[in-house]
Amino acid sequence: MPTVLDEIISGVREDLAARRAATSFQQIEAMAAAAPPALDPLPVFRTAPGVAVIAEVKRRSPSKGALADIPEPGALAAAYAAGGASAVSVLTEQRRFGGSLADLDLVRSAVSIPVLRKDFIVDAYQVYEARAHGADLVLLMASALDDEQLSDLHDLATRLGMTPLVEVHDAAELERALAVRPSLVGVNARNLKTLEVDRQVVADLLPLLPSDVVAVAESGVSGPADVADYVRAGAGAVLVGEALVTGGAPAEAVAAFITAASGVRAAAAGSASAAPQDKE
């Protein structure tokens, strides 16, 4: 019985075949080579006050259907940046999420912060495509790739100057992800095979990440309290879409997430400084 993820990837492959027929592999490679150098998001992610917010341009989802019209993706991205977002995520999958590479182009031209191409990447063509359209990061889902594919696509994205965000949903996927020595790992509370959300997955897996890996909490965020919980669990970044596109005040929402996370970090620092110190 095909899962939701299987069905999405089947459609992704069909759409990919159509794009490859219109633009050859050699052409997309040349376009990627001609693009301005990718931005490195890791320094900002590691030093962002409170938490690094990766704010998403997301029109709809398989679980919720239509979320927001978003006639001007660039304007939304600019609002995210004004609120303090460290990066913008752009969903480019068309069938289930209503996105496109045109959205990626509009966002890239509107902001100077790093941009993530969020899609179901299953082929090297899509990685070159992401770079050609100005993406600085690319999502690689362990659930959609075998070990060889994950390693190859991670290496390719890195060679092109991009930062791969390797996404996992369980301990087995995390083990596979860490084998490619990623700098950025996302733990998704949503199981894309069933569309169920379990925020405990994030709380369980984030502490297992090495200290030199930037930990990203994904899905399950409805407000600042959820962001605070993820930061307590070890998140250095949060990727948020639905709560931002449906709330009506994207810049203010991003700022509220950062404020909530800053409060958690301040409290933790205060507790640490107040703890009794061992005497020699």
Residues with a catalytic annotation lie at 56, 58, 118, 167, 188, 218-219
Q: What kind and span of H or E run contains 22? A: helix 4-22
Tokens encoding 175:
């083990």
Conformational region of residue 50, where left means phi above 0, alpha means psi within -120 to 50, and beta covers everything else:
left
> CA separation (Å) from 199 to 7, 146, 190, 192, 226?
24, 25, 8, 14, 9
DSSP 190: B
> CA separation (Å) from 40 to 33, 43, 199?
17, 7, 29
Distance from C-alpha of 44 to C-alpha of 163, rounded to nearest angstrom: 13
Rounded to the nearest 10 degrees, what angle do helices 25-34 and 124-132 cross at? 40
DSSP 144: G
Give DSSP secondary structure letters for 37-62.
PPP--HHHHHH-SS-EEEEEE-SEET
Which candidate, 23, 3, 32, places its Cα nearest to that of 159? 32
The distance of Cα 274 from the centroid of its chain, to the nearest Å, equals 36
> CA separation (Å) from 166 to 10, 22, 109?
21, 29, 25
